[in-house]
Structure 1
């Protein structure tokens, strides 16, 4: 059996959106859906006059409801569930080791209502062994897939994920490359004079080379490539409106408390208006 699409659920609205998105994605990929709820055994709140129920009992109910919801959305979908006796962040990262894709809601049932991104989602996006999609409630989209392109060899996993996502959705792909003039760090040197047209043309060449092979291998995907002199995060967030998916890379192996989300990918998952896929990149 192929590796599953794994989705973490709790009692939050964003978890319901993540479950629906993951169900659709598993159906598109013809892969099983594995629904996970992490618990630590603490007592859950109970209505007045009733005995408190354990977190395990509540988790079982959540998983049962999630399975029914997924099957109602896609009858015939292979759905499995699991209670994970662990803290949610660690549990989801562990599940990612055997997943094709991990899907999480942008914010869980804990924390503060105005948080843009919960700590569980942030850590999963920064540490998971597989690509992670962060989903927030949205009303659908008329656009396609957007991919952040650096213009070097590390683009391959991002472009592979983005082109495949566009193919499965039968939609278009927008490849976005951003750039800026190099900063001078040494003292006592003459100012560098840039030929704006030459620099822009070089970045356009890098972008064209990055997507050329993928255009050939995915002729069914309409591709638009744009190279813009601006900040990456700002441009990607602005391009996320009405899109089905935005794909960014995550550099290197996870290190530190929240893994290896760079400033661009962290800003994008916090502020994008569509689901964001974070794809691990090679060192």
Structure 2
């Protein structure tokens, strides 16, 4: 059975732009689109969609939300099959469940900084931390860069375990589909101490760390398809800062995430959490095997 690309919709501007991005992605992959509205409330308590429909917001119902999103997707990509569903439960729970049978889950992200971002990004953060498939969160300038059309390289953040990963495979696949280069980036730090046990780099700990980062990048790219243009970068700095900087020229930033248990259940690591809040382009969070 062909798996769909799932979009969480709620009638907001960012969620409608997520529909645009997902429709483009579905067209690239020859996949169907599934639009899901999940809420414990019957009505959408917002103004933007009500304005588009020229009706009081109290009269805008869940079916209007998914109907408007479906029309938008069909207009953007007429050849992509579109299905819809309305679920009476918390969106986090519904979308995590949907992720079990999806190619990817696509989410809009409202707010750009401060308390607004922290509150309105809670669904995205929860789903990205618990999903069973890649989750794409539309960071950056949604109006200008919402589409999945090529607008820059696909950037892969090479993580702590650089063996060929689900994130690396997903990033290479996206680069091939978009016909853009793949840029693999690994951050490294100057060691706190000026000595190392490695005789070849004795007295040169920074060089040793940079070489280790370069080797990690090569290891992550072991299964990259032949013919794909690849750029390899080992950059000194905090991983979050390095990846956020790379995102300014990227069409998509791909990071791997292992589900971690904390005092409040599953959550994302600091680097992934950081890029989800600060990246300048869409971010794909790809679950890795523990």
Name the TM-score, length of structure 1 as normaliser: 0.85
Measured in 1, the distance between the counterparts of 2:129 and 2:19 equals 20
Which of 47, 67, 72 aligns to 1:69? It is: 72
**C-alpha contact (below 8 Å) 2:159/2:256 kept by paired residues:** no
Measured in 2, the distance between the counterparts of 1:254 and 1:98 equals 23
* Structure 1: stretches of 5+ with no match in the other structure: 185-189
Q: Which secondary structure state, in structure 2, belongs to the residue aligned with residue 82 of structure 1?
A: strand
Which of 210, 218, 226 aligns to 1:208? It is: 218
How many matched pairs? Answer: 269
Which of 225, 233, 244 aligns to 1:226? It is: 233
Q: Aligned ranges for residues 1-283 of structure 1 at < 5 Å?
A: 1-42=1-42, 52-53=58-59, 58-107=61-110, 113=116, 115=118, 118-136=121-139, 137-140=142-145, 142-150=151-159, 152-153=161-162, 155-182=164-191, 194-195=203-204, 196-214=206-224, 218-252=225-259, 257=264, 259-283=266-290
Name the TM-score, length of structure 2 as normaliser: 0.83
**C-alpha contact (below 8 Å) 1:179/1:230 kept by paired residues:** yes
Q: Which secondary structure state, in structure 2, belongs to the residue aligned with residue 90 of structure 1?
A: helix
Shift of 1:17: 1.3
Shift of 1:239: 0.7
- With over 3 angstroms needed to count, the CA separation of the structure-2 counterparts of 1:130 and 1:45, relative to structure 1, is closer
Deviation per CA, 1:198-246: give whole Å up to 9, x if none: 33223222322321331xxx22321000011211000100110132100
Aligned-residue Cα RMSD (Å) equals 2.8
Measured in 2, the distance between the counterparts of 1:269 and 1:98 equals 23
- With over 3 angstroms needed to count, the CA separation of the structure-2 counterparts of 1:258 and 1:172, relative to structure 1, is farther
Measured in 2, the distance between the counterparts of 1:149 and 1:107 equals 27
Measured in 1, the distance between the counterparts of 2:253 and 2:152 equals 11
**C-alpha contact (below 8 Å) 1:151/1:210 kept by paired residues:** no
Measured in 2, the distance between the counterparts of 1:122 and 1:94 equals 15
Measured in 2, the distance between the counterparts of 1:148 and 1:225 equals 11
* Structure 2: stretches of 5+ with no match in the other structure: 197-201
